[in-house]
Chain A
Amino acid sequence: MSQYPQALFEIWELPIERTLVSEVLAAAMSSGADFADIFIEDKSTSRLTFLDGQIKDAVSGRSQGAGIRTIHGRQVNYGYTSVLSREGLLRTARLIAAARQQGSVRQLTALASITSPPYHFCQIYPRAVGMEQRLALLERADRAARKAHPAITQVEVTISESLQRVVIANTAGLFVADERPYSRLSVLAIASNGNEQQTGSQSPGRMAGFEFFEQLAVAEIACQAAESATLMLRATYAPAGRMPVVIDKGFGGVIFHEACGHSLETTSVAPRASIFAQKLGEMIAQPCLTAIDDGTIPNEWGSLALDDEGMPTQRTILIENGRLVNYLADYLGSIKTGYPRTGSGRRESYRYPPASRMRNTFIAPGDATLEELIASVAHGIYAKRMGGGSVSPGTGDFNFSVREAYLIRNGKIAEPVRGATLIGNGADILKKISRIGRDLELSAGMCGSISGNIPVNVGQPAILVDEMTVGGSNL
Chain B
Amino acid sequence: MEAGALLAEDAEQLAAATSQVLELALGRKLAAEVFLTASHSTRAIVQDGVVETFTLTEPQGMGIRVVDHGRTGYSYTESFSPDALADALAAAAANALIMPDAAAVELASFAAAPPFVESIYHPELATIPVERKIALALDLDQQTHDADARVKNVIATSYADTSVFLRIASTCGLDRNYWSSMAWLACQPLVFWDGQNKNYHMIRATRRFAELDPSYMAKEAVRRCIEKLGARQLAASSYPVVFAPEAFAALLGAFCGIFSAKVAQEGKSLLRERLGQRSAATVFSLTDDPLIPGGLASRPFDDEGCPSRELPLIAAGFFQNFMHNSETARRDRVASTGHAVRGSYKDTLRVGPSNLVVQAGQASFQDLVSAAPQVLHLTELTGLHAGTNVVSGDFSLPAQGFLYAGSERLPVHLITVAGNFYRLLESIEAIGAQSELLPSGIRTPAVLVAGLAIAGH
Contact = CB atoms under 8 A, between A and B. Distances in A.
B52 A74 contact: yes
Contacts of B453: 237, 240, 472-475
Interface in B60-103: 60-61, 63, 73-80, 84, 87-88, 91-92, 95-96, 98-100, 102
Nearest to A277: B153
B109 interface: no
A82 B56 contact: no
B386 interface: yes
Nearest to B73: A58
12 contacts: A59-B346, A61-B77, A74-B52, A75-B50, A76-B53, A83-B79, A154-B267, A196-B392, A241-B457, A351-B57, A353-B55, A475-B237
A469 B76 contact: no
B394 A418 contact: yes
Contacts of B155: 271, 273, 394
Given A392-B199, A472-B453, A52 B266 contact: yes
Given A100-B54, A423-B398, 4 more contacts: A64-B77, A197-B267, A240-B416, A401-B386
A447 to B, nearest CB: 12
Given A64-B84, A77-B54, A419-B394, A153 B267 contact: yes
A342 interface: no
A431 interface: no
A450 to B, nearest CB: 9
A387 B386 contact: yes
B140 interface: no
Given A55-B100, A78-B54, A423 B416 contact: yes
B392 A198 contact: yes
A401 B383 contact: yes
A82 B60 contact: yes
B456 A82 contact: no
Interface string B302-314: 0000000000000
A62 B54 contact: no
A190 interface: yes
B386 A399 contact: yes
What range describes how many residues of B lie at the interface? Answer: 35 or more
Interface in B260-282: 266-268, 270
Contacts of B130: 99-100
Nearest to B454: A240
A471 B57 contact: no
Interface in A136-155: 153-154
Contacts of A62: 76-79, 84, 87-88
Given A131-B98, A469-B416, A475-B453, A156 B59 contact: no
Interface of B: 1, 47-48, 50-61, 63, 73-80, 84, 87-88, 91-92, 95-96, 98-100, 102, 130, 153, 155-156, 188, 190, 197-199, 233, 235-238, 266-268, 270, 346-348, 382-383, 385-387, 389, 391-392, 394, 396-398, 413-419, 452-457
Nearest to B65: A59
B418 A469 contact: no
B56 to A, nearest CB: 5
Interface size class of A (residues with CB under 8 A): 35 or more
A232 B389 CA distance: 12
B233 A469 contact: yes
A470 B102 CA distance: 47
A81 B414 CA distance: 44
Interface string A245-272: 0000000000000000000000000011
Interface in A387-416: 387-390, 392, 394-397, 399-401
A241 B237 CA distance: 9
A58 B54 contact: no
Given A100-B54, A198-B391, A423-B398, A241 B455 contact: yes
Contacts of A396: 197
B95 A82 contact: no
A399 B84 contact: no
- Which of A55, A84, A351, A475 has the largest count of B CB atoms less than 10 A from its CB? A475
Contacts of B383: 388-390, 399-401, 421
Contacts of A29: none
Nearest to B453: A473
A230 interface: no
A237 B394 CA distance: 10
Contacts of B47: 271
Interface string A460-475: 0000000001111111
B91 A394 contact: no
A216 to B, nearest CB: 21
Contacts of B416: 240, 399, 420-421, 423, 469, 471
Instruction: Give the interface centre of A62, A64, A473 by most chain B CB atoms within 10 Å.
Output: A473
A95 B347 CA distance: 30
Contacts of B48: 271
A104 interface: no
B347 to A, nearest CB: 8
A83 B195 CA distance: 52
Contacts of A353: 53, 55
Contacts of A100: 51, 54, 130
Interface string A36-62: 000000000100000110110111111
Contacts of A96: 56
Contacts of B96: 58
A76 B54 contact: yes
A186 interface: no
A240 B418 contact: yes
A268 B48 CA distance: 14
Nearest to A448: B385
Contact of B418 (A57, A63, A80, A472): A472
Contacts of A390: 382-383, 385-386
A423 B188 contact: no
Interface string A78-96: 1111111000000000011
Contacts of B102: 54
A74 B53 CA distance: 9
Contact of A61 (B58, B88, B387, B454): B88
Contact of A79 (B56, B74, B153, B382): B56
A81 B270 CA distance: 44
A394 B79 contact: no
B54 A99 contact: yes
A162 to B, nearest CB: 11
B38 to A, nearest CB: 10
Nearest to B348: A57
Contacts of B53: 75-78, 353
B396 A421 contact: yes
Given A52-B266, A240-B455, A473-B418, A61 B397 contact: no
A202 interface: no
Contacts of A75: 50-54
Contacts of B392: 196-199, 232
Contacts of A55: 98-100
A58 B100 CA distance: 11
A82 B98 contact: no
A242 interface: yes
Interface string A355-396: 000000000000000000000000000000001111010111
A190 B267 CA distance: 8
Contacts of A392: 199, 382
A416 to B, nearest CB: 14
A217 B268 CA distance: 26
Given A190-B267, A271-B47, A78 B414 contact: no
B76 A58 contact: no
Contacts of A60: 74-75, 91-92, 95
Given A82-B61, A401-B386, A471-B397, A59 B391 contact: no
A189 to B, nearest CB: 10
A99 B43 CA distance: 12
Residue from the set A84, A135, A190, A399 with the largest chain B CB neighbour count within 10 Å:
A399
A197 B272 CA distance: 12
